[in-house]
Amino acid sequence: MREKLVVIGNGMAGMRTVEELLKIAPEKYDITVFGAEPYGNYNRIMLSPVLTGEKTVEEIMINDLDWYKENNITLYAGEDKKAVDIDRRNQKVIAADGTEAEYDRLLLATGSNPFIIPLPGHDLDGVIAFRDIADVETMLQASKEKKHAIVIGGGLLGLEAANGLMKQGMEVTVVHNLDVLMNRQLDEPSAKLLEQSLVERGLSFKMNANTSELKADENGHVKSIAFSDGEELPADLVVMAVGIRPNIELAQKVGLHCERGIVVNDTLQTFDPKIYAIGECIQHREELFGLVAPIWDQAKVAANHLAAYGIGIYRTQATSTKLKVTGIDLFSAGDFTGDDETDDIVFQDPKRGIYKKVVLKEDKIIGSVMYGDTIDGSWYFQLMKDGTNVADFRDSLLFGQAHMGDSGHAGVNAAADLPDSAEICGCNGVCKGDIVKAITEENLYTLDEVRASTKASASCGSCTGLVEQVIASTLGGDYTPSESEKTICACTNYGHDQVRDAIKPNNLKSFHAVSDFLEFSNPDGCHVCRPAINYYLLAAWPGEYEDDMASRFTNERMHANIQKDNTYTVVPRMFGGVTTAKDLRVIADAADKYDVPMVKVTGGQRIDLVGVKKEDLIPMWKDLNDAGMVSGHAYGKALRTVKTCIGSQYCRFGTQDSTGAGIRIEEMTWGSWTPAKFKIAVSGCPRNCAEATIKDVGIVAVDSGWEIYVAGNGGIKVRVSDFLVKVATEDEVLEYTGAFMQMYREQGHHNERTAPWIERVGLQYIKDEIVENAEKRKAYYEGFLLSQKFSQKDPWKERASEGVAQNDFIPLAEV
Ligand SMILES: Cc1cc2nc3c(=O)[nH]c(=O)nc-3n(C[C@H](O)[C@H](O)[C@H](O)COP(=O)(O)OP(=O)(O)OC[C@H]3O[C@@H](n4cnc5c(N)ncnc54)[C@H](O)[C@@H]3O)c2cc1C
Ligand code: SF4
Ligand code: SF4
C-alpha cells in the first residue's frame, strides 16, 4: 500500500520537491497538496515580466491543474484550503474550511511573507506588497486608473516592481533608505550606473529617505507619502518591497522548533522526524533563503529522503543575482565588497556604462559584480564555485573568457568550453550536462523544446543566451534560432531585417555606426548581435568593410574546427572532390611532420587532418599553402564543399560532366561568406550519387541539361530541396547558383540556413526574383562576383605568410 505524503504550500519549493520525488519514486506516495492560492503551481520569479506585460499569467504556470490530475495528486487550492492546523499526534492536516488529510510524511513549504513596515498608514487601501498574482493584479488595475506610484525599497524586487509599473504608464518614485540601490547585490559604482540608467528610463528616486507616514484620502485610500525632511509626494499606490520573513506561523502554532525560520537539519527534516520543510520558510545552519537556486538543491535532497533513499545532504552553495529589467545587464555573486585580505580587480568605463569588479582572496575569486557587460558573469561564478586558482591568468581575468585563447570572443563559444557540471540556469538549477543530455537523447533542436524539457531559461530568462550557446555547440550548424526568439538580441529592439535594412540607406559602415544609429541599449553589442552585424556589414560593403575577426566564432577565428579535446581539424580544399597524387603526398607529409593522430575522409569529399595542436596550425598551413592548397573553410559560415559524382567523363550512366561543372562552381564560390554554412553538390544523372537534393544548391544533370534544386538540408532536420529551374548550359548553372547565393547572402538572417530561410520567404518569392526576372538574376549574379573579388582570399595564406593576427595561436603560457 502506498504511504501518504501531504504538502503544505503549493509554491515553487513544494512542487519542485514533488517533481523530484515523482522522478525517483513515483509509486511511493499518495500525494495531497494544500495551497492558499487559487491556482496551479506558478513561477513566482516571473511575476515581474507579468507586471511589465512581457508574459501572461498562463505563460508562467509551471504545473497547471491537469498536471495534478495526470499525476494523481489531490490539490486543495484557495483561501479556504489554507492549512490552519496540524494534528501531529494523529498525523493529519486541517484546512480553514475543515478539509482534512492524513499523512505518513508531511512537507512544509509555506514560503515567506513580505515584510510590511509598521508605518502609520501601512494598512490603508492601496498599500500592497509584491509577492503573488493577486498583488500583480492589483498593480495592473491601479495602473489603468491611477497615476502616482511609490515603491518603498530599492532592492531587486522593488526595482522590478517600479520598472513594471512604469512600463504600465505610471509615474513611479522609488523610495530607498540608503544612497546605494540594491545594496545587498551591488557596490557603489555599479549601483550609481544602475540608478543613472533607470533615471534615463523615467524612474524617479528619493534616496536616503526616511518615511514618516502614509496619508489617507477621505475614503481610507492612500493619497500621499510623507518624509521626515518634510517632503510629501502624491501616492495612489504604494508597493512595499522591503524584505521577506519566513512564514512560520503554522509551524510555530503546532510546536515545531523555529527560530527565524523553521529549523531543519542537513536532510531538511524538522525536529519532528515525520515532518520535512523546504524553501523560504526554513532556517538551515543559521541561514535563511530568498532565491530559488538553493531551493532546487534542497528539493533534490528532500525528495531523496522522502523516497527513503537516505543519501544526500544539503549544503548551502553560493548564489548569483541578476535583475530582470529588460535591457539592463547586471550580475552579482558572492562577497563583492572584500576586506583587508582581498584584492579588487576593477574595470570601469563610465562612458560606455560598463563596470566590472572581481574580488580575489589568495588568488581565488570570492565575489564579482558587473554592470553593462555581464557576459562573463557565469564564468566568474563557475571559477568561484570551483575554487579555481586564477594566478596564471589574473592579468587577463577582467578581459573575460574571450581572452583565454580558445574560448571565443565575448563568450560566443563560452558554452562549448564549460564542463558538464557547470550551472547554466541558476533559477532552475540546470547544468550544461542536463541540457546536452536532453538535446541528444530527446532530439531537441529549438530553444522552446529545450525549455520545455529541462526548464533551462524558462524562469527569469537571463541565461537564454547561454542556453542558446549550449544548443548551438551541441547541434553545430544545425541550430537555427526560431523566428519567435528574435529581435536580434537584448541589445536592441530591432529584428534582423530591420537592422539590415538600416545599413545601406544610412551608410552605416561599422558596428558602432549601426549600434549608435539604432540606439542599441548596449552600444558594444553582445555575442549574438556582433557576429550577425559583422556579417551584414561584410555582405553590404564588399571591399570596404573590414571583417572584424574578433566578432567571429572561435572556429572562424582559428580557421579550423575545435574538437572536444581542444585540438583542431585542418581540411584543405579539394575542388569538386578531385585530388592528385602530389597533393596527397603533401597532406601525408604534413600528417607525419605534425604527428597528426587521425587522417579522415570527410562526407564532403576531402581529407581531414584531425587532432592538430593549436601551435602547429600556422606552420601546417604554411606547408600546405606553399604546395598550392587553400583552406577548405570547413569551419565557417561560408561555402563549404561542392560535392560531385564521377559524371559522364567515366560513368556509363552520366549525362553531363558533373565533376567538371562542380570544379567550376567551387572555383567561383569558394571563400564566400554566407549567413550560415552552405553546401553544393552536382550529380551527373538522376541516380544522384552526389546526394544533391539535400544540399543548399543541388544540381542534377539530365539528358537535355541541368536541373537546379535549392534549400535542401541533410542535418538533424532533413529537408529535401525544392526544384528551382531547369537550364541547358553550365554557364547558366553558374549564373543561377551565384544569383541564389547572393540573394541568400543579402536576405538570409545570420545563422539561418537556406532551408528555414526558404520556408520563411517562400519558394515562389525566390522564383520571382531569379527565375522570372532575368534582370534581377543578373544583378544578383554580378553582385556575387563583385563580392568574390574581395573574399576569395585564402585565410591560411594571410595568416601563415602575411602574419595576420598570429597572437591567437600562441598558447597563453607564452604570452
Ligand atoms: C516578484 C518576485 C520576483 C522574484 N524574482 C526572483 C529571481 O529573479 N530569482 C530568484 O532566484 N528568486 C526570485 N524570487 C524569489 C522566489 O520566487 C522565491 O525564492 C521562491 O518562490 C520561494 O519558494 P517557496 O516555495 O519557498 O515559497 P512560495 O513560492 O512563496 O510558495 C509558498 C506557497 O505556500 C502557500 N502557503 C503559505 N502558507 C500556507 C498554508 N498555511 N496553507 C497552504 N498554503 C500556504 C503560499 O500561498 C505560497 O503559494 C522572486 C520573488 C518574487 C515575489
Ligand atoms: S555527425 Fe559526427 S562530426 Fe557531425 S556533429 Fe555529429 S559526431 Fe560530430
Ligand atoms: S549520379 Fe549518375 S553519373 Fe553520377 S556517378 Fe551516379 S550514376 Fe554516375
- Using CA atoms, how far residue 376 sits from 245, 322, 361, 403, 686, in Å, is 33, 13, 19, 11, 52
C-alpha 658 to ligand 3 mean position (Å): 9
Q: Which helix (H) or strand (E) holds 260?
A: none
The pLDDT of residue 403 is 53
From atom 2 of ligand 3, which residue's Cα is the shortest distance away?
Answer: 685
The Cα 630–Cα 618 span in angstroms is 13
E strands in 595-655: 598-601, 607-612, 639-644
The pLDDT of residue 383: 85
Measured CA to CA, the distance from residue 284 to residue 184 in angstroms comes to 20
In whole angstroms, give the CA distance from residue 470 to residue 412. 10
pLDDT of residue 558: 66
- 124-133 mean pLDDT: 96
**Rounded distance, CA 23 to CA 25, Å?**
6
* pLDDT tier, 406 (very low <50, low <70, confident <90, very high otherwise): very low
**Across residues 479-505, what is the average pLDDT?**
76
> Which pLDDT score is estimated for 429?
76
More confident residue, 742 or 331: 742
CA distance 61 to 39: 9
Number of the ligand 1 atom closest to the C-alpha atom of 249: 41
pLDDT confidence of residue 682? 97
Instruction: Give me ligand 1 centre to Cα 56, in Å.
Output: 18
Looking at the predicted structure, is the pLDDT value of residue 808 above 50?
Answer: no
Binned at pLDDT 50, 70 and 90, residue 49 comes out as confident
Q: pLDDT value at position 409? A: 32
Helix (H) or strand (E) holding 52: helix 47-52
Say what the pLDDT of residue 250 is: 98
Asked whether residue 685 is marked as a ligand-binding residue, the answer is yes
From 646, 650, 702, mutation site for ligand 3 pocket: most ligand atoms within 8 A of C-beta: 646
- Please tell me the least confidently modeled range out of 263-267, 485-489, 647-651: 485-489
The Cα–Cα gap between 399 and 245 comes to 40
Ligand found nearest the CA of 479: 2
Whether this model's pTM surpasses 0.75? no
Ligand 1 pocket member 295 (CB < 6 A)? yes
Reported as a single tens digit per residue, the pLDDT across 761-784 is: 899 999 999 999 999 999 999 999
Tell me which of 7, 8, 12 to substitute to probe ligand 1's pocket, judged by most ligand atoms within 8 Å of the beta carbon: 12
* 460 within ligand 1 shell (Cβ under 6 A): yes
Ligand 1 midpoint to CA 382 (Å): 26
Task: Write down the pLDDT at residue 163.
Answer: 92
How far, CA to CA in Å, does 203 sit from each of 126, 208, 510, 592, 716?
20, 16, 33, 66, 47
- pLDDT tens profile 576-615: 999 999 999 999 999 999 999 999 999 999 999 999 998 8
Number of Cβ within 10 Å of residue 4's Cβ equals 17
What's the pLDDT tens digit per position in 426-460? 777 788 899 999 988 887 877 878 888 888 877 76
Q: By alpha-carbon position, which residue is closest to atom 6 of ligand 3?
A: 689
Contacts of 590 (CB under 8 A, 6+ apart): 570, 596, 609, 620, 623, 624
Selection from 290, 760, 799, 741 nearest residue 568 by Cα = 799
Position 233 pLDDT exceeds 80: yes
Q: Could you tell me if residue 362 is left (phi over 0), alpha (psi between -120 and 50 degrees) or otherwise beta?
A: left
Band (269; pLDDT cuts 50, 70, 90): very high
Strand partners, 205: 174
Q: What is the pLDDT of residues 511-558, one digit of tens each?
A: 989 988 888 877 777 777 888 999 999 999 998 898 876 666 666 666
pLDDT for the residue 423: 78
Sorted by sequence, the CB contacts under 8 Å of residue 267 that are 6+ apart come out as 276, 301, 302, 305, 312, 313, 314
pLDDT at residue 411 tops 80: no
Q: Is the CB of 790 under 6 A from ligand 3?
A: no
Confidence of residue 814 (pLDDT cuts 50, 70, 90): very low
Q: Residue 494: count other Cβ atoms within 10 Å of its Cβ.
A: 20
427 labelled ligand-binding: no
What was the pLDDT predicted at 148? 97
Q: What letters, b where the CB count within 10 A reaches 16 and e where it falls short, cover 74-90?
A: ebbbbeebbbbebebee
Beta-carbon contacts of 273 under 8 Å, excluding residues fewer than 6 positions away, are: none
Q: In the chain, what percentage of residues exceed pLDDT 70? A: 92
Yes or no: say if 448 and 482 are a contact pair by the CB < 8 Å rule: yes
Distances (CA, A) of 286 to 111, 260, 292, 334, 577: 17, 9, 18, 18, 68
Q: What is the mean pLDDT of the chain?
A: 88
502 burial via Cβ count (<10 Å: 0-12, 13-18, 19+): middle
Atom of ligand 1 nearest to the CA of 324: 8
Q: Are 245 and 115 in contact (CB under 8 A)?
A: yes
